[in-house]
């Protein structure tokens, strides 16, 4: 059936190509269907004779699908204008292929029709041939290829076409017996000297093109020389960036060490430095914070950059620490859940197991976007953007970050109104870039 549909699309609405045994649908017992053979060709011959004599096909050919249905279920149109060919055409267009005449029978019918056919009568459209002119001679052409000869510039060499044949023959005979003497050649005049090549008008566009090409090449060479001589190389830019970074980070330690010059305080910062290979967050510096933000050091073992003036709420039973003001809040969970109990994939943990996203999973109206995992060395992180309705019916927009540090999950979540996405994104960027584990 698939092959039949493909043939309908390829062949189209052509009656000669759709005999009933070709157009019929394919059923489960397709082996019992009438075979496609010489009877199919006889159907095509009948449709062709019908079209040639009647001037149109025996079935409408507006659509291939409709043509296939009509060929299988309806008889063809009557061949009323086929004359003596009508019985032949109608027998060839029978639905059952076994009822169509075979090739020998059809050949006998056609031979008998040709023998008994009357001669066509001459009508008014016959054009009579013109009467032969006894005075005209046949045009004789020599064998070989046709070669057109140049006409002579002298007056005696005019062509004899269009004149009376006899006059042309007589003149040819005269010129044959009485050859005409050639006049002496006149001396040629000396040629004028050629103009110098530089003064010709035709060479001006060529000279202009050469000039433009030379100017373009000079400009390209100058650009390459400038790039090689004056533009800095990539290695120099990296060296400059590496040299400028220590100047900013070197000024940070005095600010952190001045409040507590005791020996105990000097030992405490050494612990994060020893675990820096496993915790990339320790490399972040407070110098990267934007204006209006300050670095908050929390006693739960972390520090984070937050807007100035935000209030801290104490940790609850779930070890959730919240900072907030004016409808915005930052929720931090420092290492409550372990990778051993919840798996080592932060993206799966964020999607299925993170308790702070339970309102998102329980809400009837929620959406999520930007879910992705980021691996930096041995550090694995996952982040996403979520929206849901809180208990007060307010639509909130949340930026969530999950970090796997030392086998424990650290969660940083920024929550705010849904129509303040830009402000939430700004707070999230400052907090996520400055978050550091200190204990």
For residue range 137-159, list pLDDT tens digits in order.
766 666 666 566 666 555 444 44
Greatest Cα pair distance in the chain: 143
Burial class (CB in 10 A: 0-12, 13-18, 19+), 392: exposed
Structure tokens, 186: 């006149």
Nearest of 21, 27, 59 to residue 42 by alpha carbon: 21
The CA distance from 177 to 175, in Å, is 6
CATH architecture of 2-116: Orthogonal Bundle (1.10)
Q: What is the pLDDT of residue 177?
A: 47
Q: For residue 181, what is the enclosing H or E element?
A: none
Q: What is the pLDDT of residue 281?
A: 47
Could you give the dihedral angle defined by the CA atoms of residues 317, 439, 290 and 370, in that order, rounded to the nearest 10 degrees? Answer: -60
Structure tokens, 137: 């001679």
In the CATH hierarchy, which fold is given to the domain comprising 275-437?
Answer: Protein Transport Mog1p; Chain A (3.40.1000)
Q: What is the pLDDT of residue 178?
A: 52
Q: Give the domain ranges of the chain.
A: 2-116, 275-437
Strand partners, 380: 375, 404
Structure tokens, 72: 């299988």
User: Which are the contacts of 194, defined by CB distance < 8 A and separation ≥ 6?
Assistant: none
Question: With contact defined as beta carbons under 8 Å apart, do 78 and 30 qualify?
Answer: no
What pTM value is reported for the model?
0.38
Tokens 């109608």 identify what position? 90
Residue 323 φ/ψ, nearest 5 degrees: -115, 140
The CA distance from 330 to 428, in Å, is 8
Return the sign of the alpha-carbon dihedral for residues 102, 105, 109, 110: positive
User: Which are the contacts of 286, defined by CB distance < 8 A and separation ≥ 6?
Assistant: 252, 295, 303, 305, 434
What are the residue ranges in the chain where pLDDT is below 70? Answer: 26-34, 119-132, 134, 138-183, 192-204, 233-287
Q: What is the pLDDT of residue 304?
A: 92
* Number of other CB atoms surrounding residue 408 within 10 Å: 17
pLDDT in tens, 214-257: 999 999 999 999 988 887 765 554 444 444 433 333 333 333 33
């Amino acid at each position: 059936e698939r092959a039949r549909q493909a043939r309908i699309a390829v062949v189209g609405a052509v009656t000669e190509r759709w005999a009933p045994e070709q157009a019929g649908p394919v059923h489960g017992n397709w082996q019992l269907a009438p075979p496609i053979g010489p009877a199919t060709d006889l159907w095509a011959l009948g449709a062709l004779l019908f079209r040639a004599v009647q001037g149109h096909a025996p079935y409408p050919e507006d659509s291939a699908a409709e043509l296939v249905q009509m060929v299988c279920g309806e008889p063809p149109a009557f061949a009323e204008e086929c004359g003596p060919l009508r019985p032949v055409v109608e027998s060839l267009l029978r639905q059952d292929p076994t009822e169509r005449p075979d090739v020998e029978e059809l050949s006998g019918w056609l031979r008998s029709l040709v023998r008994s056919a009357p001669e066509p009568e001459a009508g008014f459209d016959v054009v009579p041939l013109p009467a032969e002119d006894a005075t005209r001679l046949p045009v004789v052409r020599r064998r070989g290829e046709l070669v057109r000869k140049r006409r002579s510039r002298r007056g005696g060499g005019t062509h004899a076409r269009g004149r009376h044949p006899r006059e042309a023959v007589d003149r040819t005979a005269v010129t044959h017996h009485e050859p005409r003497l050639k006049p002496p050649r006149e001396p040629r005049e000396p040629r004028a000297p050629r103009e110098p090549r530089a003064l010709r008008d035709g060479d001006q566009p060529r000279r202009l093109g050469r000039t433009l090409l030379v100017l373009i090449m000079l400009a390209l060479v100058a650009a390459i020389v400038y790039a090689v001589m004056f533009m800095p190389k990539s290695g120099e830019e990296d060296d400059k960036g590496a040299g400028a970074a220590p100047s900013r980070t070197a000024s940070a330690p005095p600010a952190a060490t001045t409040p507590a010059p005791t020996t105990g305080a000097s030992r405490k910062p050494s612990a994060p430095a020893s675990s820096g290979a496993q915790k990339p967050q320790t490399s972040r510096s407070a110098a990267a914070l934007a204006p209006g933000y300050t670095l908050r050091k929390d006693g739960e073992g972390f520090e984070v950059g937050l807007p100035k003036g935000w209030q801290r709420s104490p940790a609850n039973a779930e070890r959730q620490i919240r900072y907030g003001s004016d409808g915005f809040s930052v929720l931090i969970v420092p290492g409550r859940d372990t990778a051993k109990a919840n798996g080592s994939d932060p993206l799966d943990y964020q999607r299925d197991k993170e308790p702070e996203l339970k309102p998102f999973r329980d809400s009837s109206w929620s959406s999520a976007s930007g879910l992705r995992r980021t691996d930096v060395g041995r550090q694995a992180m996952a982040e996403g953007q979520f929206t849901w309705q809180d208990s007060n019916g307010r639509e909130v927009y949340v930026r969530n970050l999950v970090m796997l540090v030392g086998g424990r999950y650290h969660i940083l979540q920024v929550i705010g109104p849904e129509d303040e996405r830009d402000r939430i994104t700004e707070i999230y960027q400052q907090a996520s870039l400055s978050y550091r584990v200190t204990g």
